Amino acid sequence: MKQGWNHDRFFIVPCTVLYCVRDFLHLLWEMPHTARLTCRAFPAFWKGRWIMIKLTLKDGSIRELEAPTAAAEVIKGIGMGLYKASCCVKLDGEVCDLRTVIDHDCTFEVMTFDSEEGKKTFWHTASHVLAQAVKHLYPEAKLAIGPAIDTGFYYDFDVEHPFSQEELTKIEAEMKKIVKANEKLEQFYLSPEEAVAKLKGMDEPYKVELCEEHAGNGEPISFYQQGDFTDLCAGPHLMSTGTIKAFKLLSCTGAYWRGSEKNKMLSRVYAVAFPKASMLEEHLAKLEEAKKRDHNKLGRELEYFTTVDVIGQGLPVLLPKGARVVQLLQRWVEDVEQAHGCLLTKTPLLAKRELYKISGHWDHYLDGMFVLGDPHDETKDCFALRPMTCPFQYQVYLNRQRSYRDLPMRLTETSTLFRNEDSGEMHGLIRVRQFTISEGHYILRPDQLEDEFKNCLQLAKYFLDTVGLLDDCTFRFSQWDPANPGNKYEGTPEQWEEAQRVMGNILDHLGVKYEIGIDEAAFYGPKLDIQYKNVFGKEDTLVTIQIDMLLAERFGMYYKDKDGQKKLPYIIHRTSLGCYERTLAYMIEHFGGAMPLWIAPEQVRLVPIADRHLDFAYEVKKELEAAGLRVEVDSRAEKVGWKIRQATMEKVPYMLTVGDKECEEKTVAVRKRNGEDLGSMTVAELTAKLVEEVRTKQK
What letter would DSSP give residue 315? -
Residues 290, 298: Cα–Cα separation, whole Å: 11
Residues 590, 470: Cα–Cα separation, whole Å: 11
Asked if 141 contacts 158 with a C-beta cutoff of 8 angstroms, the reply is: yes
Question: Residue 478 burial (CB < 10 Å; 0-12/13-18/19+)?
Answer: buried
Asked if 552 contacts 571 with a C-beta cutoff of 8 angstroms, the reply is: yes
| Cis status of the peptide bond prior to 408, with omega within 30 of 0 | yes
Residues 635, 329: Cα–Cα separation, whole Å: 30
Asked if 625 contacts 631 with a C-beta cutoff of 8 angstroms, the reply is: yes
Residues 580, 460: Cα–Cα separation, whole Å: 13
| Cis status of the peptide bond prior to 236, with omega within 30 of 0 | yes
CA proximity to 390, closest of 582, 526, 575: 575
Q: What is the DSSP string of 108-158?
A: EEEEETTSHHHHHHHHHHHHHHHHHHHHHH-TTPEE----EETTEEEEEEE
Question: Residue 247 burial (CB < 10 Å; 0-12/13-18/19+)?
Answer: buried
Angle between helices 320-339 and 580-590 (to 10 degrees): 110
Secondary element (H or E) of residue 617: helix 614-626
Asked if 429 contacts 299 with a C-beta cutoff of 8 angstroms, the reply is: yes
Secondary element (H or E) of residue 188: strand 185-190
Annotated binding site: 390, 441, 573
Residues 283, 537: Cα–Cα separation, whole Å: 11
Residues 688, 683: Cα–Cα separation, whole Å: 9
What pairs with residue 403 in β-bridges?
560
Annotated binding site for Zn(2+): 390, 441, 573
CA proximity to 120, closest of 154, 81, 71: 154
Distance, CA of 540 to chain centre? 4
